[in-house]
């Protein structure tokens, strides 16, 4: 499952990846904070959408991102996953 930057508003805002809370290969649980992104005036936690394994980390701390840009991939193990 691809993890994308959600539409957090402010379409012209620069979005900066400020922290990873998980590393590639980590077992993750639905709802756990995965990464933090920051715009001009807001910080926002991106969460794991499902239980599983963080298979790919595609962006690094400090990268400037766009809405819907893929930052990671998770292999989900549970049937129900949060979109």
The nearest distance, CB 21 to other proteins, in angstroms, is 12
CA–CA distance, 77 with 26 (Å, rounded to integer): 13
42: contact with other proteins by CB under 8 A? yes
- Contacting other proteins within 6-25 (CB under 8 A): 6-11, 13, 16, 18
Sign of CA dihedral 17, 39, 66, 72: positive
The nearest distance, CB 13 to other proteins, in angstroms, is 7
CA–CA distance, 39 with 55 (Å, rounded to integer): 26
The nearest distance, CB 60 to other proteins, in angstroms, is 16
CA–CA distance, 51 with 36 (Å, rounded to integer): 19
Report the interface residues with other proteins, using CB under 8 A: 6-11, 13, 16, 18, 31, 33, 36, 38-45, 47
């Amino acid at each position: 499952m691809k993890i994308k930057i959600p539409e957090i508003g402010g379409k012209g805002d620069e979005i900066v990846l400020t922290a990873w809370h998980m590393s590639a290969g980590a077992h993750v649980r639905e709802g756990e904070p995965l990464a933090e992104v920051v715009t001009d005036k807001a910080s926002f936690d991106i969460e794991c959408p499902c239980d599983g394994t963080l298979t790919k980390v595609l962006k690094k701390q400090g990268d400037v991102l766009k809405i819907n840009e893929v930052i990671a991939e998770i292999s989900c193990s549970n049937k129900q996953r949060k979109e």
